[in-house]
């Protein structure tokens, strides 16, 4: 199977942690790209850093590498393989998924290391325009 292509999204992203009973801010829902995750213990929101989210905690300065799809849900090991490449390069990741694809968030200051490692492993990485 040929290696996949990833697209570096231009925006910086922030990962927010909120109380699980919090409402999702309207600014999040009107953002062109956002991710939500909720458990009994927390509500997590990932949005471009231009979106204001009053949160309990946040981590700024993430870049998104979008795995270009669509990927079929029956495909096995793609996240594990890319995660292994990035782990070997000492690049921490935060992964979010949609029905069609996955997004690997890496810290902006590690983006060049991530791109280099992915290219060396045979993946194609292109820049968002």
| 113: phi then psi, degrees, rounded to nearest 5 | -60, -40
Read off the pLDDT band of 1 (50, 70, 90).
Answer: very low
Structure letter (DSSP) for residue 84:
H
3, 49 contact by CB (below 8 A): no
Of the candidates 93, 90, 79, which has an alpha carbon nearest to the alpha carbon of residue 123? 79
Sign of the dihedral through C-alpha 115, 119, 120, 123: positive
Q: What is the pLDDT of residues 60-116, one digit of tens each?
A: 999 999 988 766 665 666 788 999 999 999 999 999 998 888 899 999 999 999 999
CB atoms within 10 A of CB 124: 13
Q: What H or E segment, with its residue span, contains residue 27? A: helix 26-29
């Amino acid at each position: 199977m040929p290696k996949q292509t990833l697209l570096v999204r231009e925006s910086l992203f922030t990962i927010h942690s909120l109380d699980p009973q919090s409402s999702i801010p309207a600014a999040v829902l009107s953002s062109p790209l956002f991710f939500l995750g909720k458990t009994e213990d927390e509500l997590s929101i990932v949005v471009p850093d231009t979106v204001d989210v009053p949160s309990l905690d946040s981590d700024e300065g993430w870049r998104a590498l979008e795995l270009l799809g669509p990927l079929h849900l029956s495909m096995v090991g793609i996240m594990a393989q890319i995660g292994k490449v990035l782990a070997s390069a000492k690049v921490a990741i935060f992964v979010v998924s949609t029905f069609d694809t996955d997004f690997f968030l890496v810290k902006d200051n590690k983006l060049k290391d991530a791109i280099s490692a992915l290219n060396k492993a045979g993946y194609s990485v292109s820049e968002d325009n």
